Amino acid sequence: MSRTVQASIGHRRAAGARRTAALVATAVCAVVAVAVFGWGPSVVGSVVDAVGGSSGGSGGSAGSDGASWADGAVDASDGELPDGVSVFDDGYPGVTRLEPTLLAALRAAGSAASDEGIEVLVTSGWRSPEYQERLLQDAVSTYGSEEEAARWVATAETSAHVSGEAVDVGSWDAMDWLAEHGAEFGLCRTYANEPWHFEFQPDAPDMGCAELYADPTEDPRLQG
């Protein structure tokens, strides 16, 4: 086989891997949403299916990823949360170990939302390094290498969830409410493909939120 042909095939494989990786990065978060939130296949099934279908036999499916971290290896002490945990719940490290400024903003916003009949839930907040590592290892099994997975799924060292500086919220109504009003409290979405993921931006009440990254792969903080 000529070098040109090999290079061409290599390029195609790389492009395929990137596409798969981007889908799986989305699916990992989506699987959390399914597990915690009870969102049905109609919401995220297409993402999971797309990951399984495009992996070309090179890895597992997002469905099995979800099952593997949910099989008891992590628990509430790692930040795992059951359904229906509100921002005011003091019983779970996933909530209480959020960075204090973020948690205060989240609870202030939660009070305001509550006045309008909307309950802001936390589907995933602080995560232990072990919990994040588990998510990453699930991705490794899909991508085939740690190096490739690390390009798309945050490591325990870089994840804003591990440092307590990111929160995933529910329900859809709460997401919509925060997308509209969160900036007043310093709460901003980070990624266009993750409407549930919010971080604290101190300038947001005055300046508005920073521009969204299309997905986590564009976030320079995750490159390290």
Residues that bind Zn ion (CB under 5 A): 166, 168, 197
- Whole-number minimum distance, CB 57 to Zn ion, in Å? 29
> Do residues 201 and 186 touch, judged by C-beta distance below 8 A?
yes
Residue nearer to Zn ion on the CB measure, 39 or 55: 39
Query: Which residue, judged by CB position, is nearest to Zn ion in the bound state?
Result: 197
- Whole-number minimum distance, CB 196 to Zn ion, in Å? 7
- Whole-number minimum distance, CB 198 to Zn ion, in Å? 8
Residue nearer to Zn ion on the CB measure, 126 or 185: 126
- Whole-number minimum distance, CB 169 to Zn ion, in Å? 9
Place of tokens 């979405």: 189
If DSSP states are collapsed to H, E and C, what string results for the chain?
Answer: CCHHHHHHHHHHHHHHHHHHHHHHHHHHHHHHHHHHHCCCHHHHHHHHHHHHHHCCCCCCCHHHHHHHHCCCCCCHHHCCCCCCCECCCCCCHHHHCCCHHHHHHHHHHHHHHHHCCCCCEEEECCCCHHHHHHHHHHHHHHHCCHHHHHCCCCCCCCCCCCCCCEEEEECHHHHHHHHHHHHHHCEEECECCCCCEEEECCCHHHHCCCCCECCHHHCHHHCC
- Whole-number minimum distance, CB 37 to Zn ion, in Å? 13
- Whole-number minimum distance, CB 197 to Zn ion, in Å? 4
Residue nearer to Zn ion on the CB measure, 99 or 168: 168
Amino acid residing at 115: D
Residue nearer to Zn ion on the CB measure, 21 or 33: 33
Residue nearer to Zn ion on the CB measure, 55 or 188: 188
Residue nearer to Zn ion on the CB measure, 151 or 161: 161
